Amino acid sequence: MIIRLLSAALAAGFFAAVVVTGLELTLTSPLIVAAERYEQAEPSHQADRALPIVLAHAGHDHTAPDAAPEWQPGAGLPRMAFTGLATLVGAVGYALLLGAVMLACGREPTPQVALAFAVAGFASVALAPGLGLPPELPGSEAAPLAVRQAWWVMTAAATAMGLYLIAVRRTLIAILGGLVLIIAPHVVGAPQAPEGASALPAALAAQFAARSLAISFVFWMLLGLGLGRAWQVFGRETARGTARA
């Protein structure tokens, strides 16, 4: 079972990463490069570079003006390679988590079931946190990183548990409790950025957030479909191997 899950996760992660890396390089990387030009025009703010969209980051940390600059991959091919590698690692990790959650819930990872769980994964990891903390470009004004990370984890976990209670448990109490869990992080509110105008145009930031969420949706759908299909394929191969033995 573990070998089958690992094999299916590797196949699904590679499939999703190939497609999503192309979308990132085409749709969001140019926006990141444009934002970096604004960031470099403000020497008082040195933000770390954006991670691939599928990791659903909660923003960028602003270090002290006299801090040593962090290592960055070079422009062009090195940056493309690191973007693809990070996307692949994230995709395989999320595929393993998706498969493990389905098995823990007693669901066979068929394409239909995997797609439904992938929708829940997108809602928990990207959509719900993105309502309060949309994906941010380098140079964006933001609250302290630790505070944003804590809110992101709380929102993702509460949304996932809420969806589980609503979709799997399905009792009246469970549904009410699930709704409370989903709404609670947004009632508390996401940490707000400090006062101060950002040099980034609002239209650029909004375009990046919209494209990031769209790419994340595609990522999760490909991950669910790929995992469900790969699970069936590796299951048939295992059955044939057992029959030959």
How does pLDDT run across 4-27, given as a tens digit for each residue? 999 999 999 999 999 999 999 999
Task: Work out the pLDDT band at 62, boundaries 50, 70, 90.
Answer: very low
Q: For the whole prediction, is pTM greater than 0.85?
A: no
pLDDT tens profile 152-185:
999 999 999 999 999 999 999 999 999 999 999 9
Q: Is the alpha carbon torsion for 232, 234, 236, 239 positive or negative?
A: negative
The DSSP code sequence of 206-244 is: HHHHHHHHHHHHHHHHHHHHHHHHHHHHHHHHHHHHHHH
* Domain parsing of the chain, residue ranges: 2-62+73-194+202-244
Q: Any idea what the Cα angle at residue 54 is, between residues 53 and 57, rounded to 5°? A: 60
- Specify the pLDDT at position 70: 61
pLDDT tens for 194-226 read 765 566 788 888 999 999 999 999 999 999 999
Task: Supply 204's token pair.
Answer: 């650029």
pLDDT tier, 79 (very low <50, low <70, confident <90, very high otherwise)? confident
Residue 91 has what pLDDT? 96
121: tokens are 């994964």
